[in-house]
Chains A and B, each alone.
Chain A
Amino acid sequence: MSTILQTENLQYIYPAVEEGEGATVALRGVDLKIEKGSFVVILGHNGSGKSTLSKTFNAILLPSAGSVYVEGMNTDDEEHLLDIRRRVGMVFQNPDNQIVSNVVEEDVAFAPENLGVPTAEIRQRVDRALDAVGMVEFAQHAPHLLSGGQKQRIAIAGVIAMEPDCIVLDEATAMLDPTGRREVLSTAHWLNREKGITVVLITHHMNEAEDADRVIVMDDGKIAMDGAPKEVFVRVEELRSLGLTVPDTVDLLDRLRRDGLDLPLDALTVDACADAVAEALR
């Protein structure tokens, strides 16, 4: 598989806000390769550098030192800026800050219009994008009357209409209720599975990482852990020391193991966990 995103010794420093204060070092040398077509979740407590990292992926932030490459293009090279932005789309936390139009389909058309896509093709792209997020019936609606989850799906549709190779969701589920969160997650998984779009999902919710191909844990501007969910979540103590939790399934398995039961730690999903526990008690 080819690499879509690559960082080399990536460092980022936020300049001091006021005179006399120190600058804030957010990233302290990150080396990372993200495979095309993969579903990657980035975890980390507030201030660990995960949002800063994600903002370097489409040149919203440029490295203070080191480099970021999007399909081989250096984000520092202004010549590639539009191309990079078109290939890597971002969805942020607050849906209300990302919607620009009074009609859903016009909002989705905003990016392709700005990219100079011919009108007939814009029509097709908008229809396909709304179909992909399951919002076709809302095409003529006003975005402000939709629920949070629906608005976030419109924001995702707006990104899809650019036909990107990669979508970065920066805590895009944080403001949503459980239903909205499920809608956005299943949309992201569907795009990844059916359309081959690379997804980078940044979240505080451990159970959103269960179905990912890969989990990266950030701490103090560096990568602290990196592996499949089953490899990362079994490191219970380490995760807790980084200010994170483990899914309740792993917590239960961990407790029962301490009680002397012979159980695996990597049964992450509800069903896998129940199977393992039922087996051990039989």
Chain B
Amino acid sequence: MEPILKVVHLTHIYGTGTPFERSAVEDMSFDVADGEFLGIIGHTGSGKSTLIQHLNGLLKPSSGQILLEGKDIWAEPKKIRDVRFRVGLVFQYPEYQLFEETVYKDIAFGPTNMGKTGDELDCCVREAARLVGIRDDQLEKSPFELSGGQKRRVALAGVLAMQPRVLILDEPTAGLDPAGRENLLANIRDYHRNKNGTVIMVSHSMEEVAQNVDRILVLKSARVLMQGTPKDVFCRADELLSAGLDVPQITRVAMALKERGLAVDPAVYTTEALERQLLTLRKGAAGC
């Protein structure tokens, strides 16, 4: 199947021709499959933000291409706005971007700009609100009356209401408490599963990435360091640590157990999985 998004030899240089010239993205190539949940991790300054701003045409490549459904997004620069409707980007702390008088109007802003009106518009807004768990009676409230976690869900709904083909989230759970984090991730998982939506999530939390995504892209110093399933990536824990990244705490426990001579596979990133491994070890011991 053709990938929905294809990044080909993407390079981006800031401040070309000035003393501050610096490449933030260097020769990155990767595919995103239709319906995939991709996680992006990387140290601050590794190029994550610069990369995702290319995926919906907010930044123009210095060289290389972004293909959306097989077509170069910059083939017709005048139609770049259309790309932004198809690739929805939710920035960090999106709740600071709410501005309308009511939750309903705020969510409706994107689809209205796409030219939707009447029942079609209403349908988009209500469906997006439902996806993130905003109740009907909250739609007529001012977004500023809501709690931080709810505001963030409204901001997410505003992007979902455009029904983008690809949804990109930049650290969606930063600053939320554990329950708020889990609620928001559940919304994203539901959207991914029920709508078969393609989701790209940038996160600093290795646990969050490990437990939610199909595949991980690891960036280091403006390049792709590795890509693969969470299992593939976290079994290279030493490389991750030397790239200034963390591995999930449970992976570190597994590594420490291996060092202590236990036959544990350290490529594990959930407590359930490590629990299962340890229980088979116990059974094995009892059988001897």
Contacts and interface: CB of A to CB of B under 8 A. Distances in A.
Interface in A175-200: 175-180
A93 B257 contact: no
B47 to A, nearest CB: 13
B250 interface: yes
Interface stretch (B3-11, B76-84, B274-282): B274-282
B242 interface: no
Contacts of B207: 248
Contacts of B248: 248
B256 A271 contact: yes
Given A243-B177, A274-B260, 9 more contacts: A147-B44, A147-B45, A178-B204, A244-B177, A248-B253, A249-B250, A256-B275, A277-B257, A277-B278
Contact of B278 (A176, A204, A281): A281
B255 to A, nearest CB: 8
Interface of B: 43-45, 145, 147-149, 174-180, 204, 206-207, 244-246, 248-250, 252-253, 256-257, 259-262, 271-272, 274-275, 278-279, 281-282, 285
B249 A270 contact: yes
A144 interface: no
A270 B257 CA distance: 9
Contacts of B257: 274, 277-278
Interface string A162-180: 0000000001001111111
A271 B281 CA distance: 19
A252 B275 contact: yes
B147 A255 contact: no
Contact of B260 (A44, A206, A275): A275
A244 B249 contact: no
A93 B245 CA distance: 21
A274 B178 contact: no
* Secondary structure type dominating chain B contacts: helix
Contacts of B282: 261, 281
Interface in A191-226: 204, 206-207
A46 B176 contact: yes
Contact of A273 (B179, B253, B259, B279): B253
A149 B44 contact: yes
A82 to B, nearest CB: 31
B253 A249 contact: yes
Most buried by B among A176, A177, A179, A270: A177
B250 A252 contact: yes
9 contacts: A45-B179, A149-B44, A177-B204, A251-B271, A255-B272, A274-B257, A278-B260, A278-B261, A281-B282
